[in-house]
Amino acid sequence: MSSPGYQVIARKWRPQTFDDVVGQDHVVRTLRNAIARGRIAHAYLLVGPRGTGKTSTARIFAKALNCTGGPKADFDVNDPACVAIADGSHLDVIEIDGASNNGVDQVRDLRDTARYAPAQGKFKIYIIDEVHMLSTAAFNALLKTLEEPPPHVKFVFATTEVQKVLPTILSRCQRFDLKPIPAELIVERLKKIALAEKIKVTDAALACIARMADGGMRDAQSIFDQMISFCGNEIAEPDVLDVYGLVAAAKVAELAAALAAGDHRKLVAIVDECDANGRDLVRLLADLQALVRTVLLDAIAQGGRSEQLGSPLTTEQLTRLLDGLREGEGGVKLGLAEKINFEVTLLKAVEASRARAIDSLIKELASLADEAPAAGDGGEKKKD
């Protein structure tokens, strides 16, 4: 008997129970309570960025509904029904790819088969991934069934672009918004995987991977998998930086400090160094924006000023600095001369942060004007 093929980390470590789902506590809690109280709706819509757990949550919910003795939230993953759902072989849990089955004929077939009673489990569950890809005619064909489905039918939709789903569909579903997963939770999960896979990885390397994943657990696991292929059983921060062209967090902080200080020479020197080392300047700009935003939030919390970048900056200066970096995004991403556009963006951001808003100047002049007559009157009284 042949041994099973290699399974990538993102599939091997896919959440199998509600307890495995990371960073979506609000969704898990609601679904658990719905199952416990017998308030299971006929249609759910899971919305969120890629890799945040939409399809995994849909499968776990299907397991909870169709497990032996269910519905129950705390099911046994080794239950034959749950194993069949995880393998995609359960007759009553039908997964449909909305991108390739987006025609009205496919939806009509679904509508016809939905009338029949489930063969194995208690419910017949339709999971439609990327539901926004359905055509308007397909959506309309689904409306009546979605509004008044048979009692044994449950729908779970998943989408990354909810604005493309018809309002008539949205109004018939309970909507759950899955949010990007915080970097610290991604790092915590990757540590657990590394321990189980016997991989030595530094905290700085994990922080880099989490930063690059942009809130997507699947992206983080795929990056981690690639780093294992590249490095073997030991992964350090320089390895991740070299493979993906990232700039170290310390260097990003140094560049931000140069921005705050208005040190043009240092700015250019750091950009030259990053470019010579083959670093991704688009990614560097995004990391820089994230850091400046963090400092801006600190300034707001501190009452209008922060010194986290080494130089005292007001909320107005930080807002202008961040706005200058944001305005240069298009030129850096799409321009012909990436490095030049990046340098110009940084220099413009420095000048913007040092400019004064016209309304604040007017207020300052007005306050000075109000004080001037009072001082003059006082002088005349003294003269008398």
Domain harbouring 196, CATH code: 1.10.8.60
Q: What is the pLDDT of residue 382?
A: 47
373 pLDDT above the threshold of 80: no
- Each residue's pLDDT tens digit, 345-360: 999 999 988 876 566 6
My answer on whether 287 and 155 are in the same domain is: no
My answer on whether 140 and 233 are in the same domain is: no
376 pLDDT above the threshold of 80: no
Q: What is the pLDDT of residue 1?
A: 38
Instruction: Please indicate whether residue 125 or residue 141 has the higher confidence score (pLDDT).
Output: 125
Within a domain: residue 43? Answer: yes
My answer on whether 211 and 289 are in the same domain is: no
My answer on whether 297 and 192 are in the same domain is: no
378 pLDDT above the threshold of 60: no
My answer on whether 143 and 32 are in the same domain is: yes
Q: Is the peptide bond before 4 cis (omega within 30 degrees of 0)?
A: no
My answer on whether 173 and 31 are in the same domain is: yes
Of the chain, the percentage scoring pLDDT greater than 70 comes to: 93
- What is the rounded distance in angstroms from the CA atom of residue 155 to the CA atom of residue 174? 10
- Each residue's pLDDT tens digit, 183-210: 999 999 999 999 999 999 999 999 999 9
Region 88-101 average pLDDT: 86
Q: Which residues contact 251 (CB under 8 A, 6 or more apart)?
A: 270, 274
Q: Which helix (H) or strand (E) holds 109?
A: helix 104-113
**DSSP state letters, 208-257:** HHHHHHTT-HHHHHHHHHHHHHHH-SEE-HHHHHHHHT---HHHHHHHHH
Within a domain: residue 367? Answer: no
- The total number of structural domains in the chain stands at 3
pLDDT band for position 6 (cuts 50, 70, 90)? confident
Within a domain: residue 139? Answer: yes
Domain harbouring 321, CATH code: 1.20.272.10
My answer on whether 240 and 95 are in the same domain is: no
- What is the rounded distance in angstroms from the CA atom of residue 316 to the CA atom of residue 300? 10
- Alpha-carbon distance values, 47 to 43, 136, 167, 170, 364 (Å): 13, 19, 14, 11, 48
My answer on whether 217 and 86 are in the same domain is: no
Region 297-309 average pLDDT: 91
- Each residue's pLDDT tens digit, 314-347: 898 999 999 999 998 888 888 788 899 999 999 9
380 pLDDT above the threshold of 60: no
Out of 35-49, 73-87, 139-153, least confident range: 139-153
- Domain final residue pick, 226, 244, 262: 244
My answer on whether 43 and 110 are in the same domain is: yes
If we measure between CA atoms, which residue out of 108, 110, 103, 127 comes closest to residue 46? Answer: 127
- Each residue's pLDDT tens digit, 60-83: 999 999 998 879 999 999 999 999
Q: What is the pLDDT of residue 374?
A: 52
Residue 194 sits at the vertex; the CA angle it makes with 246 and 210, to the nearest 5 degrees, is 30
**Other C-beta atoms within 10 Å of 88: how many?**
10
Amino acid symbol at 250:
A
Q: What is the pLDDT of residue 173?
A: 92
Domain harbouring 168, CATH code: 3.40.50.300
Q: What is the pLDDT of residue 227?
A: 93
Within a domain: residue 376? Answer: no
Average pLDDT, rounded, for the chain: 88
Between β-strands 200-201 and 305-306, what pairing exists: parallel, antiparallel or unpaired?
Answer: unpaired
Q: What is the pLDDT of residue 333?
A: 87
3 pLDDT above the threshold of 50: no
- Domain final residue pick, 201, 221, 244: 244
Beta bridge partners of 153: 124
pLDDT band for position 361 (cuts 50, 70, 90)? low
Q: Which helix (H) or strand (E) holds 322?
A: helix 315-327
Report yes or no: 352 and 323 within 8 Å, Cβ to Cβ. yes
Domain containing 202: what range?
A: 183-244
Region 149-172 average pLDDT: 91
- Domain final residue pick, 177, 197, 220: 177
Report yes or no: 135 and 102 within 8 Å, Cβ to Cβ. yes
